[in-house]
Structure 1
Amino acid sequence: MDDLAGRRILVTGSSRGIGRATAALVHARGARVVVHARAASPHTDSLLAEFGDRGALVTGELDGIAGAAAVWDGAVAAFGGIEVLVNNAGAWIPSEVDREEAWQAGWEANLGLNLTAPAELCRRAILDYREQGGGIIVNLASRSAHRGDDAGHLAYGAAKGGLLALTKGIARGYGRDGVLAYAVAPGWVATDLAAGAVEPAVLDGLPLGEVTPAADVAEVIAFLATGRARHATGATIDVTGADYVR
């Protein structure tokens, strides 16, 4: 299947987990992929070796506006433009209510990485997409955006909820410019970051009896990247194995 043949795609946070699975899948379907990570590593080296001349690397922190702008500029320079932005980079950063310094630091870190940086990447994408006749944005949210997160991660849920509102606003505001925007909201996903975080009691309670494979999330993202679901723009697709339904 080569339904993404030649399409230029930026996947942030693509050295591991969902991002890596997505980058590998869209490359396998013909895309040219800009891999993003904070820094080069054996993880990025292996992807680039696999991707050959249809792969490129951009590095940098996504902790706010300046970092996001630099990443976008680097990605555009790699292939002369980007047609699909996958805002995958993020982290489940605690924000404990009982510790004032940790609370403040948690909010600043969560908003910077999980909302402000993706928003700036979206802004830069919109500006370019309007000039080139359209493009696609896929924002990785979380089931926490719908239900809220636990007491120790209030800021994470709030940031991901903001990302959903941003996605809807982009779809409504820039559809006539050819900009399509979607959100994907996973639950527990089998990644390095989640390893050991899922307690046996939680696992036993999952309807499918297993944590969602990163490949399942990547399949949804890759489909949205084709542009074949234009009238689903503004929608959020849940990938939770029915652990959270609405």
Structure 2
Amino acid sequence: MDYQNELSGKIALVTGGTKGAGRAIAERLKSAGAKVVITARNQPELPDEDLYFIPADLSKPEGTDKVASEVFEKFGKIDILVNNLGGSETPGGGFAVLSNTDWEETIQTNLLAPVRLDKAFLPQMLEKKSGVIIHIASIQGKLPLYDSTLPYAAAKAGLINYSKGLSKEASPKGVRVLTVSPGWIMTEASKRMMQRISESTNISVEAATQSVMDALGGIPNGRPAYPEEVAELVGFLVSPRAGYLTGTEYVIDGGTVPTI
């Protein structure tokens, strides 16, 4: 079946949409006919005139204000909001090395930024009784790695819980709210990290990749996800074909999480 135009006439916003899974999601929604807005702090590495770019730091409230103002001025609405922005820059070494700033900045980026964006765009969705919000969380919401990403894991757990609660309020009013929790994704940044591990430990890139998979407890599927695989799931979830799906978390991790 051809789904090329199933999002025709829709306006989509993808945060963190300049690279990695965010860029793949933006490209996927564009291919389905949506007009796609992307936002991030830095310019896209690969400019695309068909993706409308708004530079903004969404970890700060003024970043959300800027994006919302420009989106409404330029397009008048948002039909699809993909809260993909996220990440962790905290140091390794466990709980004791984490500062208050580490915690606050991580929670701002991974939890409060999506909350602020929802607050900006959900009211007009509710007014027209249609729309889809996707929160990109992480398997660390259920499988935390304490050494270096504990604040990230805690923020993503909060995002999953918040997303479920929001769906209870918004779904009866016509707006679907869903969570997608990826495992390890082989982005360009991940590839560079594997190269650094390879060079610093004098092992092959393949061995470096395996060492990271081992640290996760293994990936039964034998490899990380490709960004396009995450994008394909999101493309389905925001489409009319998924019209009965709301309030649910979809894990895409190649079987990494060992429990039900």
Normalised TM-score (structure 1): 0.90
Hey, what does 1:226 align to over in structure 2?
Answer: 239
Counterpart residue number, 2:249? 236
Distance, in Å, in 2 between the alignment partners of 1:149 and 1:183 is 20
Sequence identity (%)? 30
Partner in structure 1 of residue 95 of structure 2: 97
CA RMSD between the two structures: 1.8
Of residues 174-183 and 68-77 in structure 1, the stretch that sits farther from structure 2 once superposed is: 68-77
Please name the residue that 1:34 is paired with. Answer: 37
- 1:133 maps to which of 129, 133, 136: 129
Which residues of structure 1 form unaligned runs of 5+? none
Structure 1 segment 6-155 matched on structure 2, within 5 A? 6-43=9-46, 45=47, 47-48=48-49, 51=50, 55-94=51-90, 96-99=94-97, 102-155=98-151
Mapped partners of 2:116, 2:62: distance in 1: 9
Structure 1 residues 64 and 166 mapped into 2: Cα distance closer, same or farther (>3 Å)? farther
Q: Work out whether residues 65 and 116 of structure 1, in 8 Å CA contact, stay in contact via their aligned partners in 2.
A: no
Q: What is the Cα deviation at residue 41 of structure 1?
A: 4.1
Which ranges in structure 2 are unaligned for 5 or more consecutive residues? Answer: 195-207
Q: Deviations over 1:49-69 (max 9, x none)?
A: xx2xxx311110011333223
How far 1:228 sits from its partner (Å)? 2.8
Q: Deviations over 1:154-212 (max 9, x none)?
A: 11011001111111111101212111100000000011232325642344632121110
> Could you say which structure has the larger radius of gyration?
2
Q: How does 1:162-177 map to 2 (within 5 A)?
A: 162-177=158-173
Runs of 4+ in 1 over 3 A off after TM superposition: 202-205
Q: Which residue of 1 aligns with 2:201?
A: none
* Aligned amino acid, residue 247 of structure 2: G
Do structure 1's residue 200 and structure 2's residue 198 form an aligned pair? Answer: no
3-state SS in 2 of match to 1:180: strand
Distance 2:165 2:67 in 1: 23
1:210 counterpart (210, 223, 243): 223
Give TM-score, length-normalised by structure 2. 0.85
